[in-house]
Amino acid sequence: MIKIKYIFGIVISIFTVIIILQSCTAQKAMIANKSGAQLWGENCLRCHNTPTPTDFNDEEWKTIGLHMQDRANLTNVEATKIVEFLCSAN
């Protein structure tokens, strides 16, 4: 009887670890699949109205990207995608 409980416990732990790992990969994949435009819409409106891509030139967007990455707590990948989107749209 004790053995069965022991094995049951191990099986449950393995399942828990698999589920946690899967949800992490799913989340990462979701972020990886987001386009620059989508990330821009979701992140840049939190504190102020979003300036349109044509408001600044490419050099200005790169500087603003660094500045706002810090403020918005974005990863390098997210910030790069947003800056690429802003530069491509003007």
Q: Which residues bind ligand HEC (CB under 6 A)?
A: 43-44, 46-48, 51, 64, 67-68, 71-72, 82
Of residues 6 and 60, the one with the C-beta less far from ligand HEC: 60
Closest approach of ligand HEC to the CB of residue 46, in Å: 4
Cβ atoms of residues 85 and 37 within 8 Å: yes
Q: How far is the CB of 60 from ligand HEC (least distance, A)?
A: 8
Task: Give the integer Cα–Cα distance in Å for 33 and 49.
Answer: 24
- Pick 37 or 72: Cβ nearer ligand HEC: 72
Asked if 90 and 53 count as a contact pair (C-beta separation under 8 A), the reply is yes
Q: In this complex, which beta carbon is closest to ligand HEC, that of residue 27 or of residue 75?
A: 75
Min dist CB 55 to ligand HEC, Å, is: 7
Neighbouring CB atoms inside 10 A of 51's CB total 13
- Nearest of 32, 6, 13, 88 to residue 65 by alpha carbon: 88
